[in-house]
Amino acid sequence: MSIKTKALVLTATLLLTPLHAALAARQVIDDSGTKITLPDHVNRIADAWYAHHSLLMTLGAGDKIIATVNHAQDRPWMFLIQPSLNKALSVRGVTFNSETLLTDKTDVVFASKGNGDVAAYRQAQLPTVEVQFDDFPSMKHAMLTTAAVLGTPQAEKQARLYNQYLDRQIAAIQAKTSKLTEAQKPRVLHIESLHPLKIDGSDTLIDTWIRLAGGINVASEVKGNMKEVSPEQVLAWKPDVIIIGAGAGTLDNSDYGKLFQSLKAVQQHKVWQNPSGVFPWDRYGTEAALQIQWAAQKLHPELFPDLNIVSATEDFYRRFFNYPLTASQAKRILNALPPES
Which domain covers residue 120, as residue numbers?
A: 13-152
Could you tell me if 141 and 48 lie in one domain? yes
Looking at the chain, the whole-number percentage of residues with pLDDT higher than 90 is 88
- Look at residue 158 and tell me if it is in a domain: no
Kindly state whether residues 184 and 122 are assigned to the same domain: no
Assess whether 96 and 199 both reside in one domain.
no
Judgement on whether residues 94 and 218 belong to the same structural domain of the protein: no
Distance CA 75, CA 151 (A): 27
For residue 341, what pLDDT is reported?
Answer: 81
- Are 189 and 73 part of one and the same domain? no
- Binned at pLDDT 50, 70 and 90, residue 134 comes out as confident
Sheet of 128-131: strand order equals 89-90, 65-68, 45-47, 108-112, 128-131
**Domains of the chain: total:** 2
CA-CA-CA-CA dihedral for 260, 265, 267, 271, to nearest 10: -90
Residues 272 and 199 in one domain: yes
Bridge partners (DSSP) of residue 129 are 110
151 neighbors 42 (Cβ within 8 angstroms): yes
Question: pLDDT tens-digit profile of 1-42?
Answer: 544 444 444 333 434 434 334 444 799 999 999 999 999 999
Q: Are residues 325 and 204 in the same domain?
A: yes
Q: Is residue 241 domain-shared with residue 136, that is, in the same domain?
A: no
pLDDT tier for residue 257 given thresholds of 50, 70 and 90: confident
Q: Is residue 171 part of a domain?
A: no
For residue 5, tell me if it sits in a domain.
no
Does pLDDT of 279 surpass 60? yes
Query: Do residue 192 and residue 290 come from a single domain?
Result: yes
**Does 147 lie in the same domain as 195?**
no
The CATH number assigned to the domain holding 195 equals: 3.40.50.1980
| 250 or 218, higher pLDDT | 218
What would the mean pLDDT of 282-310 be, rounded to a whole number? Answer: 97
> Do residue 199 and residue 305 come from a single domain?
yes
Distance CA 216, CA 12 (A): 68
Report the percentage of the chain scoring pLDDT > 70: 93
pLDDT band with cut points at 50, 70 and 90 for residue 247: confident
pLDDT tens digits, 176-232: 999 999 999 999 999 999 999 999 999 999 999 999 999 999 999 999 999 999 999
* Nearest Cα residue to 191 out of 229, 236, 238, 223: 229
Instruction: Assess if residue 163 is contained within a domain.
Output: no
